[in-house]
């Protein structure tokens, strides 16, 4: 029996891509899921699919950039299941652009979702995890959290921040038996590219993304981190397509 069996897992950004794939992977291993995203129709469809396959899932429409909504999400999980074992802070946006274009609204969106969303997710689940002296917080960064490339300055900044925040959390909460994991995907076949507003840049990135691996590959990595014995923490993983050089 998988050690994931019976674990209560919250997943943000669960309506597509890595979040959706992770939900399916963990459900197949017996996790009890609380799915969060902004698109209710997608959440409902995913919940139904998981339930039809014998899994257990609830959902709550949530905007991760709202501290209040993230607190309500954690409260909902505690009300339904009595505990939170794992928090997967996966929601993110990637509207790449050169700094000189001054796409301020896009910068704000990345900071609100990619950084504040992760912080709010941590803040929402940490009290109950500290109380139980156990828990696991998994934050999705990116290869762009290790490297900076043209048009990625702000996006990379947010993903470097996720790594810094997670490492700080690891140091602070190690004595409370709370595990942390940073997942840094390389090129993945997801909807993230749809948020790029510069059509020429978008076309270039889409061409590069043709080597992208499926989100299920990241989902298996998340499951691997969760499945380790409680005294083992997989703190960081980079998962690229084999042929990706960057």
Residues annotated as catalytic are: 155
Note whether 61 and 72 are within 8 A (CB): no
Query: Residue 1, SS3?
Result: coil
CA nearest to 155, candidates 89, 99, 73, 215? 99
Q: What are phi and psi of 22, to 5 degrees?
A: -65, -40
In the block, tokens 């891509």 appear at 17
75: which 2 tokens?
């409260």
Q: What are phi and psi of 157, to 5 degrees?
A: -55, -40
* Distance in angstroms between the alpha carbons of the first and the last residue of the chain: 38
Q: What is the DSSP letter of 188?
A: B
CA distance 34 to 58: 5
Q: Quick one: angle between helices 153-173 and 117-132, nearest 10?
A: 10
Q: What is the dihedral of CA 185, 228, 73, 133, to 10 degrees?
A: -130
* Phi-psi sector, 188: left (phi>0), alpha (psi -120 to 50), beta: beta
12: which 2 tokens?
């943000």
In sequence order, the β-bridge partners of residue 137 are 87, 180
């Amino acid at each position: 029996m998988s050690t994931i069996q019976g674990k209560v897992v919250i997943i943000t950004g669960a309506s597509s891509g890595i979040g959706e794939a992770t939900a399916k992977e963990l459900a197949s291993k017996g996790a009890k899921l609380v799915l969060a995203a902004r698109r209710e129709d997608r959440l409902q469809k995913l919940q139904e699919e998981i339930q039809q396959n014998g899994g257990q899932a609830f959902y709550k429409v949530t905007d991760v950039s709202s501290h209040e909504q993230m607190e309500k999400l954690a409260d909902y999980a505690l009300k339904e299941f009595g505990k939170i074992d794992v928090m997967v802070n996966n929601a993110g946006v990637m509207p790449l652009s050169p700094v000189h274009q001054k796409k301020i609204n896009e910068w704000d969106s990345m900071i609100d979702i990619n950084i504040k969303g992760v912080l709010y997710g941590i803040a929402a689940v940490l009290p109950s995890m500290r109380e139980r002296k156990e828990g696991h917080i998994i934050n999705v960064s990116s290869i762009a959290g290790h490297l900076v490339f043209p048009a990625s300055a702000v996006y990379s900044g947010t993903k470097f921040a996720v790594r810094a925040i997670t490492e700080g959390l690891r140091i602070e909460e190690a004595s409370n038996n709370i595990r942390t994991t940073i997942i840094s995907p390389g090129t993945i076949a997801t909807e993230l590219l749809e948020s790029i507003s510069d059509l020429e840049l978008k076309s270039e990135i889409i061409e590069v993304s043709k080597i992208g691996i499926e989100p299920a590959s990241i989902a298996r990595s998340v499951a691997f981190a969760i499945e380790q014995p409680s005294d083992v923490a997989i703190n960081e993983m980079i998962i690229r397509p084999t042929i990706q050089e960057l």
